[in-house]
Amino acid sequence: MEFIHLCGIGMVECMKGVYYRKFDTLSFWNKCMNVNIIYAKFFQVAALNYNLHIEIHKIPYREDELDYPTDIQVTHVIGSGLISIVFEGITSTGQCVVIKTKRKHIEQRIRKSLATLYWILTWMNWMYPMDWVMDSYQKIVEEFTYQLDFVKEYENHQRWYEMFKSNDHIKIPQLYPSECSEHRIVMEKLEGIPIDKLTCEQKTKCVTWLSKMVIQSLIVHGFVHADLHSGNIMFNHDHIGIIDFGYMISITKEEVDMFSHLFKDFAMENFDSAADQLMNWVSPLENILPYQMDDIKDFVVHIYQKSTDIDKTFRIHDILQIITKLRMYNLKISPTFYAMGVALTAIDSVLHHLSSSPSDFIINAIIEILSLQIENRERQENSE
C-alpha cells in the first residue's frame, strides 16, 4: 500500500511538473515524508549533494504534532526535525531561548513505520534470503531508539560543549539545566547566515573551522557528530555554531588510533600503507591467500588515488565500492567504519558547498591536528 501511495504521489507531481514546466522537488519530498518519516534521512543527505532546496532539513509537521511548553512563552516555531519540533520562546526572566520538544506521538509513529518496514524486509528476505537485510533493520531500530532519548542527547550536548568551549571559532549553545527534562531540551538561541549568502572569504573561514572540528572530534576525542547537515550548522563571519546532538558516534581509544594512522597515511598520500591500515577494519582474514590480499590492496589504492586526483574527496561511494570488492572474497568491513563513513557523508556535502576542493582543507586539518598531538606528547614526556 505504501509503495502504491508513493507511486501516486510521483505521478501527480510529474503531471504538475509538466503543467508548470518545473518539477517541485520540495513538494514531492514533503509528501513522501508524510507517508513515512524514515525517508527523511535520505532526503537530507541528497539535498546538498544535488544543490537542492536546503529547507528539506525542515521536515514537515502537522499542528497536532506540536507540544507547546506551558511554562515558557512561545513566540513561534523555528524548525522541525525527524524526531522533534523546535520553538523560540521567552522565559519568565526575559531570556530568549530555544525549546526542543518531541513531536506528539512520535514514538508510536516510528514504531508503526518500523513495523511496516519489518514486514517488507521479512517478505523480501523470505523471497531471497539476505542476512544483511535484517542486520540493517536492527541498526535502524537502534538509531531511532538512540535519537528518541533526550537524556542521552542532553549528555551528548554537554560533552560536545566541553570539547570545544575553549575554541573561539566553534560556538555551542549553552543549556538551561533546570528547564530540561526527558521530554525537552532548552538552550540559548544561536543566529547564523544562510550558507548560500556567505561571501567567498566567509566560506573559506567556515570550511577551515569545520574541517578542523570534524577531524579533532574524531582523532582526538573519539566522539563524532553523526548528523552535521547544513540545517545543524550556523554559519557566521567569525564562528560556526553547532546544534542537534541527538545522533552521535563514540569510538574506543584503539579505534581512534586506527583512524589516526589511516588518516595520516591518506593525507600524506602513502596509499599502500593506508590500504594496510584499512585492512585492520576487515574480517575474517584468516583464510585469505596472499594473491587475494594483494588484489584487494591494489583495488583500495586505486580508489584512494581516484578519490584524491579526480573526486577531490573520499566519499561514501568509495566505501561501497571497497565493500563490493571485499564481498568477492567473503569479507566484511567493520560496522563502526561503515557507520563513520555514513556519518561523514552529510558533512562532506556541506564542505563541497563551501569549497570546490574540500579535501585540501581536510588534509591540512589532519596534518595540523596530528602534529599538535605529537608536540603535546613530546612535551609531556619531557616534563616527566
Decide: 99 and 186 in contact? Cβ < 8 Å: yes
H helix intervals, 21-59: 25-35, 40-49
Is residue 196 included in any domain, yes or no?
A: no
The domain in which residue 22 lies consists of: 2-57
Instruction: Please give the tally of structural domains in the chain.
Output: 1
Is residue 140 included in any domain, yes or no?
A: no
Is residue 53 included in any domain, yes or no?
A: yes
Name which of 20, 22, 41, 40 is nearest 32 in CA terms. Answer: 40
Is residue 128 included in any domain, yes or no?
A: no
pLDDT by residue, tens only, the chain of 384 residues = 555 666 677 677 777 776 677 766 667 666 666 666 555 554 544 443 444 444 445 567 788 889 999 899 999 998 887 789 999 999 888 889 999 999 998 888 888 878 877 887 788 778 777 666 677 777 778 888 888 999 999 999 999 999 999 999 999 999 999 999 999 999 999 999 988 889 999 999 999 999 999 999 999 999 999 888 888 899 998 999 999 999 899 999 999 999 999 989 988 889 999 999 999 999 999 989 999 999 999 999 999 888 877 666 666 678 878 888 998 999 989 988 888 887 777 788 788 889 888 888 888 999 999 898 888 887 777 776
Is residue 146 included in any domain, yes or no?
A: no
Is residue 42 included in any domain, yes or no?
A: yes
Report helix, strand or coil for 30.
helix
Is residue 117 included in any domain, yes or no?
A: no
d(CA 68, CA 15): 38
d(CA 48, CA 56): 10
Q: What is the DSSP string of 180-223?
A: -BTTEEEEE----B-GGG--HHHHHHHHHHHHHHHHHHHHTS-E
Is residue 25 included in any domain, yes or no?
A: yes
pLDDT for 166 equals 94
Torsion on CA atoms 17, 19, 20, 25, rounded to nearest 10: -10
pTM comes to: 0.79
